[in-house]
Structure 1
């Protein structure tokens, strides 16, 4: 009799302990009663009626998921491999359990297809230079798709865009040609500005002949100072003409 009572007590104690579930602060329990949705419980101690109720534990923490490299053909027909990372979390445990079989796997698959779809609408230069805009576009589209599953996509970051060797060489040549073009433009602009200044100086000297003679003498001084050899240069007649005139007789 005593042994039977002890067995009953042990069974009841096991049932009571088995019905008590402890959920952490970031966890929730989606409870079903005879297969029907009963409610979301937690955190803390949750009582589950044995046999009648079942519980699905859901984590609300942000998940960092690495999207594997995807083959993408850009709008200008360039084949690249792109990988990304997405940050998402469950905000509605009921939808995450009832509306989709595996919320994490579903989010991963929709992220891969969205990555290929969005990047395929842009050219290679945009993929390389406008990552912030592409990240926002992908995040917005993912968030719209996963909203029905109770999932919030917080952020998307394109990690790397891999090109083949031929495309890397082509981009390097394009960059070199662009640098040469800019150098020629800058040089031409400098020549234009210099010619305009020389034209202004010529106009001033034309109006004031004395400035031309002073400039001539200054150039001679500079040349004489730079070279130690003898320099022969023509002397303007304007300078010596006064010396050649005969003085008038008194």
Structure 2
């Protein structure tokens, strides 16, 4: 009885093990190929799958993007410049049947094809083209590899040139060329800066000379105007003195002339001269002066101011119209406004000259 129970338990466990061994769990990023006794059955999708135990093979293929590193290799460019180049290839399996049945190992196949294609593409280009046209090289490599790997069920998503490293002698020559180019650009920039500085300095000197000349002109105008006003005022003062003298000389008689003559002699006596010589007798000189001035022996009575105006004329007739201080100030203000306007016009003219003389800035080269 115990033996039979043992046999039953053994059979149950064996059946359970066989059933478990037939379970195939496929991950979401995988697909599997089911092969039974060397014959392909079908593709297994992600999730739970059960296959015949002991006689089935399940080949899992990763459908995610895979990164392949193309080994570094030395390539001779079109202009005979030895250069070390390496790249990175991004691939993805899109047809599991082709990726397993059409090629032994699609990883090795894609790497080998990428190496030979990279050497062929780079060898047909010059070094400068390789350095400046990496996008073109990447696109061309991707198109060639994608077309070749289509029969293997593999899609080449992208190819990136990771490093282009010329050998030592070529790199040294490139560094010297770069240094010479930078020196040339620096010399051009320095010369352009000196040119602009000289232009600005000359323009500043010209504008300073213009402003200095304008200031000198305005100063001379003000000095001339002040001198004119001063001469007018001085002439008016002298005219007023003459009028007063003419008005006061009308009633002079012999006695007044005698008093004036004595006062004159007093002033002469107060001088520093030790000897005074008169060419004639004093009394005769005074008499002749009195007769010349029209003085009479009798003292005449001075009439009213109207009589004086009748004799010598009115003040306006003798002196002319005397400008008032307010009129002089208004005239000076008008002169200052006129000079300010002329200064503003001169500055505008100088700005126009500056804008017309300055050269146009050079266009930036692309």
Residues 170-249 of structure 1: matches in 2 within 5 Å? Answer: 170-179=173-182, 218=209
Query: Which position in structure 2 is the counterpart of 1:103?
Result: 106
Provide Cα deviations, 1:144-164, integer angstroms capped at 9, x if missing partner: 111111101111111111122
Higher relative contact order (CA 8 A, sep 6+): 1
Using the size of structure 1 for normalisation, the TM-score is 0.72
Partner of 2:142: 139
The alpha carbon displacement at 1:53 in A equals 2.5
Distance in structure 1 (CA, Å) of the matches to 2:178 and 2:87: 26
Give distance in 1, aligned partners of 2:8 and 2:95.
45
Instruction: From 61, 64, 67, give the equivalent of 2:67.
Output: 64
- Give 1:189 shift: 9.4
1:20 aligns to 2:7 (yes or no): no
Between the aligned partners of 1:29 and 1:165, the Cα distance in structure 2 is 50
Per-residue CA deviations over 1:172-196 (Å, capped at 9, x if unaligned) read 22223434555677899999xxxxx
Match of 1:157 in 2: 160
- Of 168, 172, 180, 2:171 maps to 168
User: Shift of the alpha carbon at 1:2?
Assistant: 1.3
Q: Which entry has the higher C-alpha Rg, 1 or 2?
A: 2
State how far apart, in whole Å, the 2-side matches of 1:101 and 1:164 are: 36
Higher strand share: 1
Query: In the aligned structure 2, how far is the partner of 1:142 from the partner of 1:14?
Result: 46
SS in 2 for 1:175: helix
Q: Which runs of 5+ in 2 are unaligned?
A: 200-205, 213-366
Tell me if 1:77 matches 2:77: no
Q: Secondary structure at the match of 1:38?
A: strand
Partner of 1:207: none
Instruction: Report the counterpart of residue 94 of structure 2 in structure 1.
Output: 91
Q: Residues of 2 paired with 1:108 and 1:24: CA distance?
A: 26
State the alpha-carbon separation in 2 of the partners of residues 67 and 17 from structure 1: 42
Distance in 1 between residues matched to 2:73 and 2:172, nearest whole Å: 22
Partner residue of 2:46 out of 38, 43, 46: 43
Distance 2:53 2:63 in 1: 25
CA distance in structure 1 between the partners assigned to 2:37 and 2:133 by the alignment:
52
Question: Residue 84 of structure 2: SS of its match in structure 1?
Answer: strand
Equivalent residue number for residue 233 of structure 1: none
